[in-house]
Amino acid sequence: MKKKILGLCFLSVLCLSFVSPAFAEESQVVTNEQTVESSSTVDSTEVASQPAIESTESSAVEQTTESTDADEAIVPETQIETAEGTMSLPRGRSDLYPTIQLFASLPSVSATNANTPSKSFIDISSHNGNISVANFQKMKSYGVTGVVVKLTEATSYINPYAQSQINNAMAAGMKVSAYHYSWFTSDAQAVAEANYFAAAAKKFGLSSGAVMVNDIEEPQILGKGNHTNNSRAFENRLKALGYGNVRHYIGLNWLTTGRINAATIGNKNIWVAAYPYNLSTTNFYTQYGAWQWSSQFSFPGISGNFDINADYTSTFSNPATTPPANSIQMYRLYNPNSGEHFYTQNVAEKNNLVSKGWRYEGIGWNGPTSGNPVYRLYNPNAGDHHYTLHAYEKDNLIKKGWRYEGISWYSGGSNALHRLYNPNAKAGSHHYTLNTNEKNNLVKHGWKYEGLAWYAK
């Protein structure tokens, strides 16, 4: 994952001043309700008070080439030999402690190049700056349908561009996920970083269904702590906070050297990074959930390079599927202020809500063009919408002051949508989903399962 390059790092600083953003006390846990600061800088007194990491062979910065300036240190990517050939891996791309990254040995890849692995999704950070809705839409025209946005690092950094990157990607119809650059070397630190990450995700309006990624790649923590157990602690804490879709971004060398046990994490929960030197249409590492195969991907007319990835499980991207015959797509949106999910087949209504701050979450399901009607009602007191297949429920709500807004869509097909109820919510108290995992996760967090809502194609 590419991080913002803030400037040159001098050799004397690299040798003497590598500081870990680990915690002064491992027992300190930041709660999910803490205020998330939106600053992109780290206070110098905070950094100075944090414990330094001892220099080790695995975490030391190697200067492998002669520099024209004796004070400049160059940090190359890591190279390893695999059955698939020579692979390159990212190394030391922290926003808190940036270093120069060279990828001279990697080919530049254009989105127009057909001789590549799958182009499913990109991941971005502050390095990529503001990206317009139009540019995200242009990316979609090349088959890239997902974006993973860096939100946080350690417990002191937040991507200052995260909100606009999330909003614009969603407005363009991209599937949006989030990642955290990890520094934890103990379970306690992992829990604290998960708290910080979840609080930022909540602030930026990401719903509980968003995919949340542990980006564990920092060389200064390599070999410190139990990376497998610590990553599981991070994952479990996020799930306890309501974010049930957790994945792990891991460099191939962390897996091949046994630093992280893939079987314990779960192969399909791993997003592996390994950059090929010779491009081809072959998708490697299909035993994992996703594969990052280049950091030098570009789109015509869009400045900068991007990390590009193949998605093997449709976790990070919207699969390119053709809607069934005689069906219409139903759009799903989320209001981060009220917590309400909204569903509509009307493109103009969807776009209008997005312009007012609603988050577009993609296609909820494909509905038939005829069948049993699903009624839509609105509560003017709570500002809440409700959808029901049952005429008697519709009539009863009208008697209680709800406004009938007509037939929203039709029910029919073999795919059942689940209906859930949140007894604590003032708005958005009902939720509807095709996803059984999402349904089960909501039930674990206190939602009441009310059975099948209607059917979709």
Q: What is the mean pLDDT of residues 15-21?
A: 38
Task: Provide the pairing of β-strand 403-411 with 372-379.
Answer: antiparallel
Please say if the pLDDT value at position 215 is more than 50. yes
Please say if the pLDDT value at position 36 is more than 70. no
Rounded CA-CA distance 35/362 in Å is 29
Residue 305 has a pLDDT of: 92
* Nearest Cα residue to 179 out of 157, 229, 364, 79: 157
Residue 362 has a pLDDT of: 78
What is the identity of the amino acid at 188? A
Q: What is the mean pLDDT of residues 260-280?
A: 93
Across all residues in the chain, what is the average pLDDT?
Answer: 80
Residue 373, classified by CB atoms within 10 Å of its CB into exposed (0-12), middle (13-18) or buried (19+), is middle
Please say if the pLDDT value at position 19 is more than 90. no
Residue 54 has a pLDDT of: 32
Please say if the pLDDT value at position 367 is more than 80. yes
Identify whether the C-beta of residue 124 lies closer than 8 Å to the C-beta of residue 149: yes
pLDDT band at residue 192 under the 50/70/90 scheme: very high
| Long-range contact set of residues 430-434: C-beta below 8 Å, sequence gap at least 24 | 430/386, 430/387, 431/341, 432/341, 432/343, 432/364, 432/387, 433/364, 434/364, 434/365
> What is the percentage of the chain residues whose pLDDT exceeds 70?
77
Residue 103, classified by CB atoms within 10 Å of its CB into exposed (0-12), middle (13-18) or buried (19+), is middle
Rounded CA-CA distance 362/3 in Å is 27
Residue with tokens 């009607």: 373
What is the identity of the amino acid at 231? S
Count of Cβ atoms closer than 10 Å to residue 45 Cβ: 7
Please say if the pLDDT value at position 441 is more than 70. yes
Residue 194 has a pLDDT of: 98
Tokens of 66: 């002669």
pLDDT band at residue 301 under the 50/70/90 scheme: very high
* Nearest Cα residue to 30 out of 245, 184, 150: 184
What is the identity of the amino acid at 311? D
Tokens of 142: 């090349």
pLDDT band at residue 32 under the 50/70/90 scheme: very low
Give Dmax (Cα) for the chain.
80
Helix (H) or strand (E) holding 234: helix 227-240
The C-alpha angle 359, 364, 369, rounded to 5 degrees, equals: 125
Residue 3 has a pLDDT of: 47
The C-alpha angle 177, 182, 183, rounded to 5 degrees, equals: 170
What is the identity of the amino acid at 44? S
Residue 425 has a pLDDT of: 83
pLDDT tens profile 273-297 = 998 878 889 999 999 999 999 999 9
Better-predicted residue by pLDDT, 86 or 363: 363
Domains of the chain: 11-105+115-311 (3.20.20.80), 327-456 (no CATH)
What is the identity of the amino acid at 445? H
Helices 347-355 and 162-171 cross at an angle (nearest 10°) of 170
Please say if the pLDDT value at position 325 is more than 70. yes
Listing DSSP states for 342-400 in one string gives EEES-HHHHHHHHHTTPEEEEEEEEEESSSEEEEEEEETTTTEEEEES-HHHHHHHHHT
Identify whether the C-beta of residue 216 lies closer than 8 Å to the C-beta of residue 250: yes
Residue 173 has a pLDDT of: 83
Query: SS3 letters for 112-131?
Result: CCCCCCCCCEEEECHHHCCC
Tokens of 318: 């919207």
pTM value > 0.85: no
Rounded CA-CA distance 150/230 in Å is 20
Identify whether the C-beta of residue 150 lies closer than 8 Å to the C-beta of residue 123: yes
pLDDT band at residue 62 under the 50/70/90 scheme: very low
Q: What is the mean pLDDT of residues 15-35?
A: 37
Q: What is the mean pLDDT of residues 59-87?
A: 37
Rounded CA-CA distance 94/321 in Å is 37
Task: Encode burial over 255-277: b for 16+ CB neighbours within 10 A, e otherwise.
Answer: beeebbebeebeeebbbbbbbbe
Residue 12 has a pLDDT of: 31
